[in-house]
Structure 1
Amino acid sequence: MKIKKVDVYAARLPLKEPFIISYVRLDDMPTIFTRIETDEGLVGWGEAVPDQNVTGETWESTYQIIKNELAPMLIDQSPFAVDSIHNMFNRKIYGAPSAKAALDIALYDLMGKITGQPVYQLIGGKSHEQLQVPQVISIKDPEEMAKDARDYVASGFRNIKIKVGTTAADDIVRIKAVRQAIGKEVQLRVDANQGWSRIEALKVIRETVDCDVDWYEQPVKEHDLKSLKAIKEVSHANIMIDEGVHTIHDLVYVVEMGAADMLNIKLMKSGGIYPALALANLAEACNMPCQVGSMVESAIGTMAGAHLAMSRSIIETNEMVGPLMFRKDVAIVHYNGDTIELSNAPGLGIKVDEDYIKEITHF
């Protein structure tokens, strides 16, 4: 069975409300969908959600790279030749991880459909009974964030993650307000998205010691591993690295330096499921708990991340929340309270609405 066709769609998904983090405000979510078809008529779907501040890619550049550089290389390839395909991609172009992820995810969707197996069965099997998801609250006034958190907990969520990364003083107020709103039993996670200096990070962590934060994620700039290590050494809570690790080579440096306690794996940073598995394996060898994070992907990218999270015991948490944030998605993802459901259906286990994708496609 060979690949005969690759279609690429640059679309924008409507958000329920603006998504605001330390470096950007998004009123809708620009994304790229890929559709790979075999000579026997089977179809696999993938997705890229580039972030020029994280992956170094724009929406437009990612579309062009997939369409003109990477997709043509797949024609007449076997969908199972994932290692060979990634090597070809990497020889062709440096970086461009979300572009590569869009095709990698579609290949895994295809492999699952060809074999009649869900993706998680192809990459390790079921390592968890369920995948519990948090609710993610973007940057707002402290009172608004506290109200959102209170409402989410009332609706059954047991984990709250808040976006911060403005000023230390304002973020301390935000963290304290949310903790007070949700009580002591609900887990609280804090993500600065590189928004603090070393001094600001230390101040926030010190002054929120009574807030029982599970971990502080990427407090400083992605390249500043020395500051991250210094923060980790004096922190009462775990420090998670996110933007600072894209590839397995990055993770080697982090481990050697002892710069973080935990790792946030994102398919859009790593280049897809195949290289993300390498990150999880190295992290497991180093006893570094992992999370599968999200760039606020549609059902396609979300389910790819969910299958990855299900397949590895070292991946202890996830943020498969994208579908909860869209007014309308390209496929239905089933949530049971605050858990995301994976079926035994082959591939990613979702039915993609091709008509809707074409409706929201810009080019």
Structure 2
Amino acid sequence: MKIAKVDIYGIRLPLHEPFIVSYDRYDDMPVILVKIELADGTVGWGEAVPDQHVTGETHHSVMQILEHELAPLLKGLSPFQIELIHKKMNKKILGNPTAKAAIDCALYDLMGKITGQPVYQLIGGKAHDFLVMPQVISIKSPGEMAEDARRIVGEGFRNVKIKVGTDAETDIERIRAVRNAIPKEVNLRVDANQGWDRISAVTVIEKTKDCLVDWYEQPVLAADILSMQEIRRVSHAKVMIDEGIHGTGDLLNVIQNRSADMVNIKLMKTGGIYPALAMASMAEAAGLPCQVGSMVESAVGTMAGAHLSIARDIIQSNELVGPFMFSKDVASVSFDGDVLRFPELPGLGVEVNEEIVKELMEVHITV
């Protein structure tokens, strides 16, 4: 059960339509897949989807870090040595959580395949009976976003999240247009992706008080914890922190300053499932409900997040929307309406189509 080889694939996944948030536009999604192979031929898959606005990593930097710094550390180790491997990675290079997450998820995939168990069984078992998926609407005109919302609800989705964060007045129009387009029983979440300042955030939240927003996510810049605290103090709705926390140190700061009501845990920010479990436990101790978010990941990263989500009671929502957004993916994820179906397979439960990987591949490196 020793690691013998690591393959790194740089690919681009095509989107049904451009994905637009406050800080960037994505016409396709640059993704890095990692395949770790044991001496007996067993393979595990992991994924990195870097966002330079969040972790400072790019597609090219993650490829380089994986090839030259992290993958060489794995040779001869067992995938079950997850604590040691994370310690080695953190000693080798500071930060770079997205690169580390790709390795972490591949290790969990291997552990599940070796034991014949789905990953959620290795990290606590099912804490929830099922996972309900939302749909996410990227930034468009208020009318276009309302039309998207109507379509999404018509397809059976019970949770709608909208991206905003350009200017306050237009964002107010967007929120109102979407709320008016969907039934009151459909949950609405709003994500500014750091797009507002403190005054704008307070203004938008106050002027959309009647729109029944479940929570407002990351209204201000990631490092502005004090503004988050002030916004939370006057907000009628919950305030979620996302880009402002990457690890347990950040989360401790948020807890001490009472700067959020909820926490968005993303594997690409934390460095994978193993450190994400520590964050979930810390949040639970502080009474902060969690969401597992996504950098718009393929079926590989999506299922890694799903296993984490279903295994922790404190994780009460998710945003694992990648499979809905891609016109072609490297593996399939099954849904019953807006409910994710966990396959009866060990590991992450994904069967990667390596022919599609080759078709979409720009770079392939073997270490």
Give me the TM-score of the superposition, normalised by structure 1: 1.00
Looking at structure 1, the residues matched to 42 and 252 of structure 2 have their Cα atoms a distance apart, in angstroms, of 38
1:37-52 pair list within 5 angstroms: 37-52=37-52
Q: CA deviation at 1:343?
A: 2.1
Looking at structure 1, the residues matched to 59 and 119 of structure 2 have their Cα atoms a distance apart, in angstroms, of 27
Q: Which residue of 2 aligns with 1:320?
A: 320
1:214-253 pair list within 5 angstroms: 214-253=214-253
Deviations 1:249-285 (A, max 9, x none): 1000000000000000000000000000000000011
Q: Which residue of 2 aligns with 1:285?
A: 285
Q: CA deviation at 1:183?
A: 2.1
Greater shift after overlay, 342-351 or 206-215? 342-351
SS in 2 for 1:214: strand
Q: Which residue of 1 aligns with 2:344?
A: 344
Runs of 4+ with deviation above 6 angstroms: none
Q: Which residue of 2 aligns with 1:143?
A: 143
1:181-260 pair list within 5 angstroms: 181-260=181-260
Looking at structure 2, the residues matched to 165 and 153 of structure 1 have their Cα atoms a distance apart, in angstroms, of 23
Q: Which residue of 1 aligns with 2:90?
A: 90
Question: What is the letter of the counterpart of residue 11 of structure 2?
Answer: A
Deviations 1:230-253 (A, max 9, x none): 000000000000000001010000
Question: What is the letter of the counterpart of residue 189 of structure 1?
Answer: R
Q: Which residue of 2 aligns with 1:115?
A: 115
Looking at structure 1, the residues matched to 89 and 359 of structure 2 have their Cα atoms a distance apart, in angstroms, of 30
1:22 corresponds to 2:22: yes
Looking at structure 2, the residues matched to 358 and 104 of structure 1 have their Cα atoms a distance apart, in angstroms, of 23
Contact 1:163 1:192 in 2 (8 A): yes
Contact 1:44 1:109 in 2 (8 A): yes
Q: Which residue of 2 aligns with 1:332?
A: 332
Q: Which residue of 2 aligns with 1:359?
A: 359
SS in 2 for 1:362: strand
Please list every run of 5 or more consecutive structure 2 residues that lacks an aligned counterpart in the other structure. Answer: none
Q: CA deviation at 1:185?
A: 1.0
Contact 1:117 1:344 in 2 (8 A): no
Looking at structure 1, the residues matched to 96 and 354 of structure 2 have their Cα atoms a distance apart, in angstroms, of 25
Question: What is the letter of the counterpart of residue 300 of structure 1?
Answer: V
Contact 1:97 1:270 in 2 (8 A): yes
Q: CA deviation at 1:68?
A: 1.1
SS in 1 for 2:301: helix
Q: CA deviation at 1:67?
A: 1.0
Q: Which residue of 2 aligns with 1:177?
A: 177
Looking at structure 1, the residues matched to 168 and 130 of structure 2 have their Cα atoms a distance apart, in angstroms, of 36
Give me the TM-score of the superposition, normalised by structure 2: 0.98
Identity %: 64
Contact 1:105 1:272 in 2 (8 A): yes
Deviations 1:270-302 (A, max 9, x none): 000000000000001111000000000000000
1:154 corresponds to 2:148: no
Q: Which residue of 1 aligns with 2:130?
A: 130
Q: Which residue of 1 aligns with 2:80?
A: 80
Looking at structure 2, the residues matched to 9 and 330 of structure 1 have their Cα atoms a distance apart, in angstroms, of 12
Looking at structure 1, the residues matched to 170 and 267 of structure 2 have their Cα atoms a distance apart, in angstroms, of 31
Looking at structure 2, the residues matched to 189 and 358 of structure 1 have their Cα atoms a distance apart, in angstroms, of 37
Contact 1:300 1:331 in 2 (8 A): yes
Looking at structure 1, the residues matched to 233 and 212 of structure 2 have their Cα atoms a distance apart, in angstroms, of 18
Deviations 1:301-335 (A, max 9, x none): 00000000000000000011101100010001001
Q: CA deviation at 1:206?
A: 0.2
SS in 1 for 2:362: coil
Looking at structure 1, the residues matched to 351 and 85 of structure 2 have their Cα atoms a distance apart, in angstroms, of 26
Looking at structure 1, the residues matched to 310 and 239 of structure 2 have their Cα atoms a distance apart, in angstroms, of 23
Looking at structure 2, the residues matched to 82 and 130 of structure 1 have their Cα atoms a distance apart, in angstroms, of 27
Q: CA deviation at 1:344?
A: 2.8
Looking at structure 1, the residues matched to 67 and 137 of structure 2 have their Cα atoms a distance apart, in angstroms, of 34
Looking at structure 2, the residues matched to 151 and 323 of structure 1 have their Cα atoms a distance apart, in angstroms, of 17
How many residue pairs align between the two structures? 363
What is the Cα-based RMSD across aligned positions, in Å?
0.5
Question: What is the letter of the counterpart of residue 276 of structure 2?
Answer: A
1:61 corresponds to 2:38: no
Looking at structure 1, the residues matched to 63 and 16 of structure 2 have their Cα atoms a distance apart, in angstroms, of 25
Looking at structure 2, the residues matched to 162 and 285 of structure 1 have their Cα atoms a distance apart, in angstroms, of 30
SS in 2 for 1:340: strand
Looking at structure 2, the residues matched to 254 and 61 of structure 1 have their Cα atoms a distance apart, in angstroms, of 29
